[in-house]
Structure 1
């Protein structure tokens, strides 16, 4: 399994934060860490980790408030809440604030790693070594990035999944519903505006003129289509 995954560990208990971070590093994950809610919000938005392990009770700003804030700011990657609260109502609250999943303390470290492995397996493409080409750009889905003119352009996990689906279905009209199922899964309650927002951000990374996209075109009333006819490419 690909391990080029960055995980933020946000926990005010120094011992637990050290233990979790150390274990994840031994599993070859990249780890960044902090101990309070204010720093957490800043680090999540600046570093855009693929997965956030977020303690519920934090000094400065509670984990649930951090989650709500970064979601409103456009952070769409995985957030796993670490909580000592085990009542169902708290779990429902967590989902309503944008938590992807939760793990109840005290937890077995193997269970935590298994949960993370499961998320990585779902969100990171299975085409580990395949490289896709369009125009002067290479897409490396296994490290969710683009290469153009010798420069690396980072993609979020969700942007990566969206682009990969388009590149595997060039020239085909793809409905928003299909895209949402591919990217978020069948049980998702994500709305189409969120999908459109990710498409806008993706265009800024792949298009010469994002306002007049060449590759990632809108199909009115339906969804999108990815065009890759180099003969017609004005660039």
Structure 2
């Protein structure tokens, strides 16, 4: 099923790199790998893998720097950061190097494989969705952006995924558990507080008054719903 999907494993811990590569190959993915940051950039830009699993801490160059360099060089495919520290997740969000998502070590191989399968399903199933509109705002999911009054507003990948799901389900009340499953694709390291934090950030980008949202409304005790004509 996934024979044509190529995954780069960039990890300086040889044992972990071997385990991840071996498991992914057993799932019929094509795998390329290295433990060196400088070599990683060259390898990724030449081979253009569909998904990059990138370690946060690498000798010589941090994963965040590699990620930023790849984005500047025009690499647009998925980059999943592997981080050993939960606090680094905040940095990934705050500095927005272009990381698509993250997974915290130690992780089980089953969780990693499920996450990758979810990414492939999500991106393949939504490739045709070029444009959504609500109010005077356009949402361009493929480039993770909003356009309003001729101005471009960038979304993080998670904000983009949350908004896309709401726009695909306008008017329907969506529970937090459902939203977390759709957005993250797995339950590890995700709680409702994290989800609510992303909702708050998203509202600041889509609402005229984020404290009194008209589009992305809270339904007490149930979750959220998106109203197109408030």
Matched residue of 1:198: which SS?
helix
Corresponding residue SS for 1:228: coil
Shift of the alpha carbon at 1:53? Answer: 6.0
Matched with 1:89 is: none
Aligned to 1:94: 106
Q: 1:141 to 1:16 in 2, by over 3 A?
A: closer
Q: 2 CA distance for matches of 1:41 and 1:14?
A: 13
Gaps of 5+ in 1: 1-6, 55-62, 82-92, 103-114
Shift of 1:119: 6.1
2:142 corresponds to 1:142: yes
| RMSD after superposition | 4.1
Q: Find the counterpart in structure 2 of residue 207 from structure 1.
A: 207
Aligned to 2:177: 177
Q: 1:78 aligns with which of 101, 110, 117?
A: 101
Q: TM-score by structure 1 length?
A: 0.60
Q: Secondary structure at the match of 1:124?
A: helix
C-alpha displacement at 1:43, in angstroms? 6.7
CA contact (8 A) 1:79 1:101 kept: no
Other-structure match for 2:42: 18
- Determine if the alignment matches structure 1 residue 154 to structure 2 residue 166: no
> Distance in 1 between the 2:149 and 2:189 partners?
38
TM normalised by structure 2 equals: 0.61
Count of aligned pairs between the two proteins: 184
Change (3 A) 1:162 1:125: farther
Deviation readout 1:64-87 (Å, 9 max, x if unpaired): 44x534214363842479xxxxxx
